[in-house]
Amino acid sequence: MIIPAIDLIDGKVVRLQQGDFARRTEFSFDPLERIKDAAAGGAQLMHIVDLDGAKDPAKRQLSLIAKLVKASPLPIQTGGGIRTEADVKSLLDLGVERVVVGSAAIRDPAFGCHLLDAYGPEHITLALDVSIIDSVPYAAVHGWQERSQHTLYELIELFLPHGLKHVLITDISRDGMMAGTNTALYHDCHEKYPSLDIIASGGISSLEDVAAAARAGAGSVILGRALLEGRFSVKEAAACWQNA
């Protein structure tokens, strides 16, 4: 399915290039209106990244997220700097549908396994941001500044016995760059793990990129900058996805 995304800093809709706060573009959109427009276009889920929370968990935009969840016609998937079980619980208690957990689960797989066991795999999305080194996808942590020793596939294998369902995979080199998505990566993941909901993210700039991700076996695709810049609409993307 199509998952429109908005990244938020101090309540404002922004986009970063390759996760770099210094390479930030701010958009004059109201977050709730973006969510309502996405629903009207046929989206079934909204992805929200709390960049304040990612930078400093003490500055997580909980009041804004609570307001958006309450008013949203769509279920919300959100993350950004999720480090503790309390972070996860606080968001689920607000009514968030899925919490995105990345670096904390990569650094401590036992923690990720516990979250899947305690809250159910339907409510936890594992975010695996990867760097491709010699054709091998390695997970990255700490805002993409460090490379984990674990490969993408090693991590998936660790979490599968605990019911892993949703995996958000981003090729760092493509995020925010509008250079097309890594279809080979998603194809390999789908071939290895056909039961997983592989969520493609990063680099999607055209409807052809949307169709390519679907053909590669991705179960969902996150659309950020392309929608914000009006390259195509949610309705067009949804139709493209269904017909790929």
* CB 152, CB 195: distance < 8 Å: no
Active site (annotated) includes residue 7: yes
Query: Catalytic residue among 129, 171, 175, 209, which?
Result: 129
Active site (annotated) includes residue 50: no
Query: Catalytic residue among 7, 50, 87, 209, which?
Result: 7
- CB neighbours of 210 closer than 8 A, spacing ≥ 6? 2, 204, 221, 223, 232, 237, 240, 241, 244
Q: What angle do CA 68, 76, 210 make, to 5 degrees?
A: 120
Q: Nearest CA to 203 among 187, 230, 221, 220? A: 221
For the CA atoms of the chain, what is the radius of gyration?
16
* Structure-block tokens of residue 143: 């805002």
Q: Give the residue numbers marked as catalytic.
A: 7, 129
